[in-house]
Amino acid sequence: MGLRRSYLDRFWQRGCEFLGAETAILGGAMTWLSERNLVAALSNAGGFGVLASGAMAPDQLSEEIAATFARTDRAFGVNLITMHPQLMELIDVCLDHKASHIVLAGGIPSVAAMKRIKAGKTKVLCFAPNLTLGRKLVQRGADALVIEGMEAGGHTGPVATSVLAQEILPNIREVPVFVAGGIGRGEAILSYLEMGAAGCQLGTRFVCAEESIAHPRFKEAFLKANARDAVLSVQIDPMFPVIPVRALANKATHRFHEVQQEVIEKYRRNEVSQKEAQLEIEHFWAGALRRAVIDGDIENGSVMAGQSVGMVTHEQPVLEIIQELLEQAHLASEARNQI
């Protein structure tokens, strides 16, 4: 693949050097899925795996990092949720293990958290939902940014990937910027690199990798789905905000609509307070992702998926997926150069 990557190398050399990887293809941090096996497989295949810490306690994260190091001698990152009550302890766990990169997600990271990471000589990546915040994060010391569009699976923002890329890539050059959300083919990776991205992050594309521990029924749901099946959770009433989550529509999706209506009616009858109603709505999805990913309950669990799910057509090894992406990008670059 060396010769076939030459055109790509012109654009993502900065990203590869920053990540310490052969290709600037990051694995999206997917709770329950981005664990030791998939992360190590991604890094071993020349990409950059990212562990999803989710709601792990410090001791659990420590065990997962150690297990990943046992499976690969290549660089990988650790994704931490900024709202985690033990965020500082989790950062210390990463530093103790000499993790090379920490990705802060799920909210605007505090200055204290970023300083803690920087003091440990570890690189920090932050998610930037818009240009203003992106600049602020760079000023605070972010070593790189990830911009993720609404096409992504799981918790997502309101703006499309293509719009974010046009807004941010031409205006932030001080640090590498990686693009995510709805990316499933090499041609798209090439396009974002040509726009100025340092690399791209893909999650949905790796769910059906052979190394993924997702339940067979979870994988089967992905293989049968198309882009329009991956929908955002709907908010019934602005008084009771719902954080948008993109997942495959199922019985739980429809039941969530009903639960919101039922709870809101209880609130209007003064049977519950607004706070109690909000908590009841938020608790609906508790454990739902694990039910789907690990237990295989794809009707009552949350089958988080990006809109690129229609490009997942069969189960294959991570190495083969990355080679396929590189081949697609190469063929697209050849076509451009022949014009």
- Read off the pLDDT of residues 85-131 as tens digits, 9 standing for 90 and up: 999 999 999 999 999 999 999 989 999 999 999 999 999 999 999 99
What is the model's pLDDT at position 3?
37
Torsion of CA 129, 132, 136, 142, to 10 degrees: 40
Closest CA to 26 of 11, 6, 45, 8: 45
**Boundaries of domain holding 250:** 226-304
Q: Is 221 a member of any domain?
A: no
Which one, of 245, 186, 141, 215, lies nearest residue 7 by Cα?
186
Please give the tally of structural domains in the chain.
2
The two beta strands, 177-180 and 144-148, are: parallel
pLDDT, tens only, 216-239: 999 999 999 999 999 999 999 999
Q: Rounded to the nearest 10 degrees, what angle do helices 251-268 and 274-282 cross at?
A: 170
Instruction: Determine, yes or no, domain membership for 219.
Output: no
Question: What's the Cα-to-Cα distance from 8 to each of 26, 181, 290, 330, rounded to whole Å?
Answer: 15, 20, 37, 8
**Helix ranges restricted to H, 141-176:** 161-168
CATH number at residue 121: 3.20.20.70
The answer to whether residue 25 is domain-embedded is yes
Residues 297 and 170 in one domain: no
Averaged pLDDT for residues 243-248: 94
Residue 210 to residue 214: CA distance in whole angstroms: 9
**pLDDT for the residue 243:** 86
187-201 pLDDT per residue, tens: 999 999 999 999 999
Looking at the fold, whether 277 and 320 belong to one and the same domain comes out as no
- Residue predicted with more confidence, 44 or 1: 44
Give the position of tokens 């993720």: 148
Look at residue 322 and tell me if it is in a domain.
yes
Residues 207, 258, single domain; the answer is: no
Residues 295 and 331 in one domain: no
Average pLDDT in the chain = 95
pTM of the model: 0.94
User: How much of the chain, in percent, has pLDDT values that exceed 90?
Assistant: 92
Predicted local confidence at residue 159, as pLDDT = 96
What are phi and psi for residue 15, nearest 5 degrees?
-65, -40
